Protein backbone atom coordinates (compact mmCIF):
# COMPACT_ATOMS: atom_id res chain seq x y z
CA UNK A 1 0.00 0.00 0.00
CA UNK A 2 1.08 3.56 -0.70
CA UNK A 3 1.26 5.78 2.37
CA UNK A 4 1.28 9.55 2.52
CA UNK A 5 2.38 10.98 5.87
CA UNK A 6 1.64 14.53 7.01
CA UNK A 7 2.91 16.84 9.71
CA UNK A 8 2.91 20.60 10.21
CA UNK A 9 4.36 23.38 12.31
CA UNK A 10 4.10 27.16 12.69
CA UNK A 11 6.51 29.30 10.68
CA UNK A 12 7.50 32.53 12.42
CA UNK A 13 9.08 35.25 10.29
CA UNK A 14 12.05 36.97 11.89
CA UNK A 15 13.14 40.53 11.26
CA UNK A 16 9.72 42.01 10.55
CA UNK A 17 8.01 44.76 12.51
CA UNK A 18 4.75 42.88 12.97
CA UNK A 19 4.50 39.29 14.12
CA UNK A 20 4.19 37.04 11.09
CA UNK A 21 3.09 33.48 11.72
CA UNK A 22 1.82 30.96 9.22
CA UNK A 23 1.08 27.23 9.29
CA UNK A 24 3.34 25.16 7.04
CA UNK A 25 2.93 21.45 6.39
CA UNK A 26 4.62 18.64 4.53
CA UNK A 27 3.41 15.36 3.11
CA UNK A 28 5.72 12.56 1.98
CA UNK A 29 4.50 9.88 -0.42
CA UNK A 30 6.02 6.44 0.16
CA UNK A 31 5.21 3.57 -2.19
CA UNK A 32 6.95 0.82 -0.20
CA UNK A 33 6.23 1.33 3.49
CA UNK A 34 8.03 -1.81 4.67
CA UNK A 35 11.15 -0.91 2.72
CA UNK A 36 11.02 2.63 4.07
CA UNK A 37 10.89 1.40 7.68
CA UNK A 38 14.02 -0.69 7.12
CA UNK A 39 15.82 2.22 5.47
CA UNK A 40 14.77 4.51 8.31
CA UNK A 41 16.09 2.17 11.01
CA UNK A 42 19.38 1.77 9.15
CA UNK A 43 19.83 5.49 8.51
CA UNK A 44 19.04 6.69 12.03
CA UNK A 45 21.35 4.11 13.62
CA UNK A 46 24.18 4.98 11.23
CA UNK A 47 23.83 8.75 11.57
CA UNK A 48 23.50 8.73 15.35
CA UNK A 49 26.72 6.70 15.54
CA UNK A 50 28.44 9.03 13.07
CA UNK A 51 27.56 12.13 15.10
CA UNK A 52 28.03 10.38 18.46
CA UNK A 53 24.48 11.08 19.61
CA UNK A 54 22.48 9.14 22.18
CA UNK A 55 19.38 7.55 20.70
CA UNK A 56 16.52 6.69 23.04
CA UNK A 57 13.60 6.36 20.62
CA UNK A 58 13.16 4.40 17.42
CA UNK A 59 11.29 7.29 15.75
CA UNK A 60 13.06 10.61 16.23
CA UNK A 61 11.32 13.92 15.79
CA UNK A 62 13.24 16.97 14.67
CA UNK A 63 12.94 18.68 18.06
CA UNK A 64 14.69 15.71 19.67
CA UNK A 65 17.53 15.86 17.14
CA UNK A 66 18.08 19.56 17.82
CA UNK A 67 17.80 18.94 21.56
CA UNK A 68 20.40 16.16 21.80
CA UNK A 69 22.66 17.43 19.02
CA UNK A 70 22.38 21.17 19.42
CA UNK A 71 21.47 23.55 16.58
CA UNK A 72 24.48 22.70 14.39
CA UNK A 73 24.93 18.95 14.84
CA UNK A 74 21.20 18.42 15.18
CA UNK A 75 20.53 20.11 11.86
CA UNK A 76 23.42 18.24 10.22
CA UNK A 77 22.21 14.81 11.30
CA UNK A 78 18.69 15.74 10.21
CA UNK A 79 19.98 16.62 6.75
CA UNK A 80 21.85 13.32 6.51
CA UNK A 81 18.80 11.27 7.53
CA UNK A 82 16.63 13.11 5.01
CA UNK A 83 19.29 12.56 2.34
CA UNK A 84 19.29 8.82 3.11
CA UNK A 85 15.50 8.51 2.99
CA UNK A 86 14.50 10.65 0.02
CA UNK A 87 15.32 7.85 -2.47
CA UNK A 88 12.42 5.99 -0.81
CA UNK A 89 10.05 8.96 -1.27
CA UNK A 90 8.31 9.41 -4.61
CA UNK A 91 6.86 12.86 -3.91
CA UNK A 92 6.88 15.66 -1.35
CA UNK A 93 3.94 18.04 -0.94
CA UNK A 94 4.48 21.34 0.87
CA UNK A 95 1.53 23.50 1.92
CA UNK A 96 1.57 26.93 3.47
CA UNK A 97 -1.23 29.19 4.66
CA UNK A 98 -1.11 32.96 4.21
CA UNK A 99 -4.29 35.05 4.22
CA UNK A 100 -3.47 38.49 2.75
CA UNK A 101 -5.36 41.35 4.35
CA UNK A 102 -6.65 42.69 1.04
CA UNK A 103 -8.36 39.40 0.21
CA UNK A 104 -10.44 39.24 3.40
CA UNK A 105 -13.49 41.13 4.69
CA UNK A 106 -13.01 43.61 7.51
CA UNK A 107 -14.92 44.27 10.71
CA UNK A 108 -14.81 47.00 13.30
CA UNK A 109 -12.37 46.41 16.10
CA UNK A 110 -13.99 46.16 19.52
CA UNK A 111 -10.71 46.88 21.31
CA UNK A 112 -9.03 50.15 22.19
CA UNK A 113 -9.63 51.74 18.80
CA UNK A 114 -13.17 50.83 17.68
CA UNK A 115 -12.82 52.93 14.52
CA UNK A 116 -10.06 50.69 13.18
CA UNK A 117 -11.19 47.87 10.90
CA UNK A 118 -9.41 44.53 11.15
CA UNK A 119 -9.38 41.58 8.71
CA UNK A 120 -11.66 38.75 9.75
CA UNK A 121 -12.67 35.26 8.71
CA UNK A 122 -16.41 34.61 8.49
CA UNK A 123 -17.33 31.00 9.19
CA UNK A 124 -20.82 29.91 8.17
CA UNK A 125 -22.27 26.92 9.98
CA UNK A 126 -24.69 24.50 8.36
CA UNK A 127 -27.36 25.32 10.95
CA UNK A 128 -27.37 28.96 9.86
CA UNK A 129 -25.06 30.27 12.55
CA UNK A 130 -22.14 32.53 11.73
CA UNK A 131 -18.97 33.28 13.65
CA UNK A 132 -16.64 36.16 12.83
CA UNK A 133 -13.04 35.54 13.89
CA UNK A 134 -10.13 37.99 13.63
CA UNK A 135 -7.70 36.54 11.11
CA UNK A 136 -4.89 36.55 13.69
CA UNK A 137 -6.94 34.33 16.00
CA UNK A 138 -7.98 32.09 13.10
CA UNK A 139 -4.34 31.61 12.11
CA UNK A 140 -3.61 30.55 15.69
CA UNK A 141 -6.30 27.84 15.44
CA UNK A 142 -5.37 26.28 12.09
CA UNK A 143 -2.08 24.61 13.15
CA UNK A 144 -3.94 22.14 15.38
CA UNK A 145 -5.53 20.59 12.29
CA UNK A 146 -3.37 21.76 9.39
CA UNK A 147 -2.24 18.18 8.54
CA UNK A 148 -5.88 17.63 7.52
CA UNK A 149 -5.67 20.56 5.10
CA UNK A 150 -2.45 19.16 3.63
CA UNK A 151 -3.99 15.71 3.27
CA UNK A 152 -7.02 17.21 1.54
CA UNK A 153 -4.75 18.94 -0.99
CA UNK A 154 -2.91 15.65 -1.53
CA UNK A 155 -6.08 13.65 -2.15
CA UNK A 156 -7.27 16.24 -4.67
CA UNK A 157 -4.09 15.54 -6.65
CA UNK A 158 -4.23 11.74 -6.28
CA UNK A 159 -8.01 11.31 -6.32
CA UNK A 160 -7.78 8.04 -8.27
CA UNK A 161 -5.68 6.29 -5.58
CA UNK A 162 -8.17 6.20 -2.71
CA UNK A 163 -8.33 2.41 -2.44
CA UNK A 164 -4.56 1.92 -2.41
CA UNK A 165 -3.39 4.75 -0.15
CA UNK A 166 -3.16 5.19 3.60
CA UNK A 167 -3.14 8.73 4.97
CA UNK A 168 -0.93 9.01 8.07
CA UNK A 169 -1.63 12.14 10.12
CA UNK A 170 0.09 13.53 13.17
CA UNK A 171 -2.29 14.38 15.99
CA UNK A 172 -5.15 16.68 14.98
CA UNK A 173 -7.85 18.54 16.87
CA UNK A 174 -10.21 21.22 15.67
CA UNK A 175 -13.61 22.10 14.22
CA UNK A 176 -15.48 19.97 11.73
CA UNK A 177 -14.52 21.33 8.32
CA UNK A 178 -14.78 20.56 4.62
CA UNK A 179 -11.12 19.55 4.33
CA UNK A 180 -11.73 16.83 6.93
CA UNK A 181 -14.90 15.67 5.21
CA UNK A 182 -13.10 15.46 1.86
CA UNK A 183 -10.74 12.74 3.14
CA UNK A 184 -13.16 10.67 5.23
CA UNK A 185 -13.57 8.03 2.53
CA UNK A 186 -9.82 7.40 2.54
CA UNK A 187 -7.92 5.07 4.86
CA UNK A 188 -6.96 7.53 7.62
CA UNK A 189 -4.54 6.64 10.41
CA UNK A 190 -4.04 9.28 13.09
CA UNK A 191 -0.96 9.05 15.31
CA UNK A 192 -0.92 11.17 18.47
CA UNK A 193 2.74 12.10 19.01
CA UNK A 194 3.14 10.78 15.48
CA UNK A 195 6.67 12.08 14.93
CA UNK A 196 7.77 9.98 17.93
CA UNK A 197 6.18 6.67 16.88
CA UNK A 198 5.80 6.70 13.08
CA UNK A 199 8.92 6.97 10.87
CA UNK A 200 6.97 8.33 7.85
CA UNK A 201 5.51 11.12 10.00
CA UNK A 202 8.93 11.68 11.59
CA UNK A 203 10.34 12.25 8.09
CA UNK A 204 7.54 14.71 7.24
CA UNK A 205 8.39 16.51 10.49
CA UNK A 206 12.08 16.70 9.53
CA UNK A 207 11.25 18.01 6.05
CA UNK A 208 9.14 20.84 7.37
CA UNK A 209 11.64 21.66 10.13
CA UNK A 210 14.47 21.88 7.57
CA UNK A 211 12.33 24.20 5.45
CA UNK A 212 11.78 26.41 8.48
CA UNK A 213 15.47 26.45 9.46
CA UNK A 214 16.77 27.10 5.96
CA UNK A 215 14.32 29.93 5.32
CA UNK A 216 15.44 31.54 8.56
CA UNK A 217 19.12 31.04 7.69
CA UNK A 218 18.58 32.96 4.44
CA UNK A 219 16.19 35.47 6.04
CA UNK A 220 13.83 34.44 3.27
CA UNK A 221 10.11 34.98 3.09
CA UNK A 222 7.57 32.20 3.03
CA UNK A 223 6.98 32.28 -0.72
CA UNK A 224 6.72 29.68 -3.43
CA UNK A 225 10.06 30.36 -5.11
CA UNK A 226 11.85 30.38 -1.74
CA UNK A 227 10.33 26.99 -0.92
CA UNK A 228 11.46 25.69 -4.31
CA UNK A 229 14.98 27.02 -3.72
CA UNK A 230 15.14 25.41 -0.29
CA UNK A 231 14.16 21.96 -1.50
CA UNK A 232 16.41 22.14 -4.55
CA UNK A 233 19.26 22.55 -2.06
CA UNK A 234 18.09 19.41 -0.26
CA UNK A 235 17.64 17.32 -3.43
CA UNK A 236 17.46 18.88 -6.89
CA UNK A 237 15.85 15.70 -8.28
CA UNK A 238 13.05 15.71 -5.73
CA UNK A 239 9.51 15.66 -7.10
CA UNK A 240 8.04 18.61 -5.24
CA UNK A 241 4.51 19.95 -5.22
CA UNK A 242 3.62 23.22 -3.49
CA UNK A 243 0.16 24.40 -2.52
CA UNK A 244 -0.77 27.81 -1.15
CA UNK A 245 -3.85 27.30 1.01
CA UNK A 246 -4.98 30.90 0.86
CA UNK A 247 -8.36 32.62 0.41
CA UNK A 248 -9.52 30.15 -2.26
CA UNK A 249 -9.03 27.24 0.15
CA UNK A 250 -10.42 29.15 3.14
CA UNK A 251 -13.95 27.64 2.84
CA UNK A 252 -12.41 24.16 3.27
CA UNK A 253 -10.44 25.21 6.36
CA UNK A 254 -13.18 27.15 8.12
CA UNK A 255 -15.53 25.51 10.61
CA UNK A 256 -18.57 23.94 8.96
CA UNK A 257 -20.45 23.22 12.20
CA UNK A 258 -20.31 24.01 15.91
CA UNK A 259 -18.78 20.59 16.57
CA UNK A 260 -15.25 19.21 16.49
CA UNK A 261 -13.94 16.62 14.05
CA UNK A 262 -14.77 13.08 15.11
CA UNK A 263 -11.32 11.51 14.99
CA UNK A 264 -11.38 8.71 17.58
CA UNK A 265 -12.35 5.99 15.08
CA UNK A 266 -9.31 6.84 12.97
CA UNK A 267 -6.60 6.68 15.65
CA UNK A 268 -4.13 4.03 14.48
CA UNK A 269 -4.33 0.58 16.02
CA UNK A 270 -3.07 -1.09 18.08
CA UNK A 271 -3.24 1.73 20.60
CA UNK A 272 -0.93 2.01 23.59
CA UNK A 273 -2.95 3.88 26.25
CA UNK A 274 -1.43 6.28 28.77
CA UNK A 275 -3.76 6.74 31.73
CA UNK A 276 -3.36 9.28 34.53
CA UNK A 277 -4.50 8.30 38.02
CA UNK A 278 -6.00 11.74 38.59
CA UNK A 279 -7.73 14.24 36.32
CA UNK A 280 -4.88 16.75 36.57
CA UNK A 281 -2.00 14.33 36.03
CA UNK A 282 -1.74 14.91 32.31
CA UNK A 283 -2.18 18.65 32.06
CA UNK A 284 0.04 20.34 29.49
CA UNK A 285 2.76 21.21 32.01
CA UNK A 286 2.86 17.76 33.59
CA UNK A 287 2.66 16.04 30.22
CA UNK A 288 5.75 17.93 29.06
CA UNK A 289 7.57 16.54 32.09
CA UNK A 290 6.38 13.02 31.29
CA UNK A 291 7.56 13.34 27.69
CA UNK A 292 11.10 14.00 28.93
CA UNK A 293 11.32 10.77 30.91
CA UNK A 294 12.57 7.29 30.12
CA UNK A 295 9.04 6.00 30.64
CA UNK A 296 7.86 8.05 27.65
CA UNK A 297 10.76 6.72 25.58
CA UNK A 298 9.65 3.15 26.34
CA UNK A 299 6.02 3.93 25.53
CA UNK A 300 6.98 5.49 22.18
CA UNK A 301 9.18 2.52 21.33
CA UNK A 302 6.41 0.09 22.26
CA UNK A 303 3.96 1.87 19.97
CA UNK A 304 6.52 1.95 17.15
CA UNK A 305 7.36 -1.75 17.59
CA UNK A 306 3.74 -2.74 16.92
CA UNK A 307 3.30 0.02 14.31
CA UNK A 308 0.54 1.46 16.44
CA UNK A 309 -0.18 4.72 18.21
CA UNK A 310 0.34 6.21 21.64
CA UNK A 311 -2.91 7.58 23.07
CA UNK A 312 -3.13 9.67 26.22
CA UNK A 313 -6.46 9.00 27.93
CA UNK A 314 -8.24 12.35 28.33
CA UNK A 315 -11.05 12.24 30.85
CA UNK A 316 -12.86 15.17 29.25
CA UNK A 317 -12.79 13.62 25.75
CA UNK A 318 -12.52 9.82 26.13
CA UNK A 319 -15.47 8.25 27.94
CA UNK A 320 -13.74 4.93 28.46
CA UNK A 321 -10.91 2.85 27.06
CA UNK A 322 -13.15 1.47 24.33
CA UNK A 323 -13.43 4.95 22.82
CA UNK A 324 -9.67 4.94 22.34
Domain boundaries, the chain: 2-99+138-267, 101-136, 269-324
The model's pTM is 0.91
pLDDT in tens, 71-130: 999 999 999 999 999 999 999 999 999 998 776 766 555 555 544 667 888 787 877 788
Query: What pLDDT does residue 115 have?
Result: 47
If one counts every other C-beta atom within 10 angstroms of the C-beta of residue 261, the result is: 22
Judged against a pLDDT cut of 70, whether residue 279 lies above it is answered with no
Fold of domain 2-99+138-267: Nucleotidyltransferase; domain 5 (3.30.420)
pLDDT in tens, 32-66: 999 999 999 999 999 999 999 988 899 999 999 99
Judged against a pLDDT cut of 80, whether residue 201 lies above it is answered with yes
pLDDT bin (cut points 50, 70, 90) of residue 11 is: very high
* 3-state per-residue secondary structure call for 123-167: EECCCCCEEEEEHHHHHHHHHHHHHHHHHHHHHHHCCCCHHHEEE
Residue 149: exposure state from Cβ atoms within 10 A (0-12, 13-18, ≥19): buried
Distance CA 128, CA 12 (A): 35
Query: What pLDDT does residue 74 have?
Result: 95
Mean pLDDT, the chain, rounded, equals: 89
pLDDT bin (cut points 50, 70, 90) of residue 273 is: confident
Distance CA 109, CA 117 (A): 6
Judged against a pLDDT cut of 60, whether residue 154 lies above it is answered with yes
In the chain, % of residues over pLDDT 90: 71
pLDDT in tens, 207-255: 999 999 999 999 999 999 999 999 999 998 899 999 999 999 999 999 9
At 4, which helix (H) or strand (E)? strand 2-13
Query: What pLDDT does residue 131 have?
Result: 84
Distance CA 115, CA 118 (A): 10
Amino acid sequence: MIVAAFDSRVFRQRGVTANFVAPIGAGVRIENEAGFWKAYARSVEQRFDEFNLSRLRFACKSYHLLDVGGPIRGKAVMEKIVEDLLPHVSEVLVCYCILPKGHLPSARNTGDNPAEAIPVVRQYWEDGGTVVTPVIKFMDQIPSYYPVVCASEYTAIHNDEQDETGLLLDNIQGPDNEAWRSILQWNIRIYPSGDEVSPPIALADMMIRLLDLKLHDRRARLERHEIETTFSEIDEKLKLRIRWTGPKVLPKMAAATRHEMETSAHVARPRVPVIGETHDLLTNSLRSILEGTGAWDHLCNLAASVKGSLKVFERTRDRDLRSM
